[in-house]
Structure 1
Amino acid sequence: MTSSQGARTALHLFLVWATMVAAVPTLGFWLLVTAWHGGAGAVVPALALGVPLTVGLLTTTGIPVRTVVPLCGSVPQRLGWAILVFVLGTLGVLAGLAAYSGDVALGSAGTRVALTGVPYAVAAAFFVPNRWVRLGAVAALAAAVAYGGFIGPTQSRQRQHAAEAARYRQHPELLYMIATPPGMRVARAEVAPASFYVEYHSVRQDAYVALAVRSPLTPKPQCPEPAEKEMTCTVDGHGEMRTLHHSPGGVITLTRRYRNAEVAVSSKMLDEPGLRHLLDTLHPLSDTELEELMREKVIDQRAAG
């Protein structure tokens, strides 16, 4: 390929790109407006008019290379070439729309408009009888497939995961955990606007420990008044509140203030020393622990109200 032919080929591919950048979004917007006002039945006449006009515009971009690209040598050949490029390029645009609907990032609105012309330019490059031009088209196609099929979806999942973790951490002052009791595992965790709740169950589901972290309702722990039936409540000199429900297999609850939160741990199987030991292991929820809760799908978020 001579320098003159190379220049005409570059101009040709640029014209294909620029023409379709202008035509495809316009056609898409026109079809959308037509469907909005006239329903699905009005789209067919719009397509019957818009597609031939677009193909006609695309045909003119083959004129600079009529002596370089065999399929652009005559008007009928250029028309056939334009139809092929339009079909192949439109398939590429549809693939891009599918990737975008799957939350694959394609840049700003301006970038997405500019990208609409790329599949047509790549399709046109395959018809240029030059090894390097076709290799460039293959490289562009491979890059698009790799990004749209693998890299983009992976980045999308990472963004979604990070956004989900950020939602759970909207109130970090309430996100505390205790050491998992021996023989138990986290069965459920719930994040609410003013509380964080975790349940630990034994493997055989015959015992549990519950951790509740909430915003304090009173300046210091105090037993409910009037006292609830079948419940004993005491507050010691360290500000630690103990409640005992006098029922078969009664639940013991220890409540302690920790920084700006009120933390309560409850159990039917552990006594006071055991619960106090668990409270002594209280620590902020780490990224590793949050990742594990999300991976095991045991954490959920409750909306306000």
Structure 2
Amino acid sequence: MTSGRGALTALHLLLVWAVTAVAVPTLGFGLLVSAWSGGAGAAVPVFAVGVPLMVGLLAAAGLPVRTVVPLCGSARQRFGWAALVFVLGTLGVLAGLAAYGGDVDLGSATTRIVLTGVPYAVAAAFFVPNRWVRLGAVAALGVAVAYGGFVGPARSEVRRHEAEVAWYQEHAELLYLGAVPPGMEVSRAEVGPAYFGVDYRTVRQDAFASLLVRPPLTPTPRCPEFEEKGVTCTVDAHGEVRTVRELADGGRAVTLTRLHGGAEAEVTSQTVDESGLRRLLNTLHPLSDTELEELMREKKIDHRT
């Protein structure tokens, strides 16, 4: 390709990009406004006028290369070429919208407008009878597919994961976990606006214990007043509150509550004995990143607003 033909080709592709980068967002905005204000029927006239206008603008962009691109040699051929470029470029724009809808980062609003014209310029490049121009178009298409189909979604997933972790760690001062009682496993954890709860269960679901970490209910540990019968409560010298509820079936539920740092930790169970509950309290430690990742991976943690 001579320097003159190369300059014409560059001007041609630049014109295709510039025309579509301006016209396509304008057409899309017009369709959106008309559909929003008057329903889908109101968008039909805008579409019927906008599409032929777009094809006409693209045909005009093909004028500089009527001696370079065979399909732009005559007016009839240029309009056929323009229709092909419009269809192929629009497919690229729709693919970009699908990627953007999948939370793939496409930059700022200005960047997205600039990118709108790229699929049309790439489509036009495939019609230029030059190996290097077409190789450039293939490379651009490959980059777009790789980013939109693989790199972008992977980065989006990382951002979502980081946002979810930050969401769970919003009240990190309450995120404490104790050693799992023997024979049990963490079955569920829940982060609330002012609490962190963990349920421990056996595999057969025949034993249960729960941990609740929250801001202290009172400045100093004390027994609350219970209206129901069969409840006893004591506070030892270390400030641990022990509450026992006698159950109708003859069993009992034991609750131990103590201050832990700036939070109040409470463990309750009908099946784990007091020594096991105290071991749970004695082994409380801040929830580590590894433990949080494991809970998230196994879908055992939830967030409640």
TM-score (norm 1): 0.96
Partner of 1:258: 260
Cα distance, 1:48–1:182 mapped onto 2, change above 3 Å: same
What CA distance in whole angstroms lies between the structure 1 residues aligned with 2:133 and 2:163? Answer: 42
What CA distance in whole angstroms lies between the structure 2 residues aligned with 1:17 and 1:111? Answer: 13
Instruction: Please list every run of 5 or more consecutive structure 1 residues that lacks an aligned counterpart in the other structure.
Output: none
RMSD (CA atoms): 1.2
Farther off after superposition, 208-217 or 37-46 = 37-46
Could you tell me how far 1:273 is from its partner in structure 2? 2.0
Contact 2:72 2:81 in 1 (8 A): yes
Residues 237-276 of structure 1: matches in 2 within 5 Å? Answer: 237-247=237-247, 248-276=250-278
Partner of 1:288: 290
Partner of 1:131: 131
* Deviation string, structure 1 residues 73-93 (Cα, Å, up to 9, x no partner): 111111111111000000100
Could you tell me how far 1:53 is from its partner in structure 2? 0.8
Kindly provide the amino acid, as one letter, of the partner of residue 131 in structure 1. R
Partner of 2:280: 278
Partner of 1:46: 46
Instruction: Tell me the secondary structure at the aligned position of residue 170 of structure 2.
Output: coil
Instruction: Tell me the secondary structure at the aligned position of residue 155 of structure 1.
Output: helix
Partner of 1:8: 8
Instruction: Tell me the secondary structure at the aligned position of residue 171 of structure 1.
Output: helix
Could you tell me how far 1:272 is from its partner in structure 2? 2.1
* Deviation string, structure 1 residues 281-303 (Cα, Å, up to 9, x no partner): 10011111111111111211222
Instruction: Tell me the secondary structure at the aligned position of residue 121 of structure 1.
Output: helix
What CA distance in whole angstroms lies between the structure 1 residues aligned with 2:295 and 2:22? Answer: 48
What CA distance in whole angstroms lies between the structure 2 residues aligned with 1:36 and 1:194? Answer: 41
Instruction: Tell me the secondary structure at the aligned position of residue 205 of structure 2.
Output: coil
Contact 2:181 2:276 in 1 (8 A): no
What CA distance in whole angstroms lies between the structure 2 residues aligned with 1:217 and 1:268? Answer: 23
Farther off after superposition, 245-254 or 81-90 = 245-254
What CA distance in whole angstroms lies between the structure 2 residues aligned with 1:226 and 1:18? Answer: 76
Partner of 1:57: 57
Could you tell me how far 1:227 is from its partner in structure 2? 6.4
Kindly provide the amino acid, as one letter, of the partner of residue 283 in structure 2. T
Could you tell me how far 1:275 is from its partner in structure 2? 1.6
Could you tell me how far 1:182 is from its partner in structure 2? 1.9
Partner of 1:212: 212
Could you tell me how far 1:228 is from its partner in structure 2? 4.5
Partner of 1:152: 152
Could you tell me how far 1:270 is from its partner in structure 2? 2.5
Contact 2:267 2:277 in 1 (8 A): yes
Q: What is the aligned-residue identity percentage?
A: 70
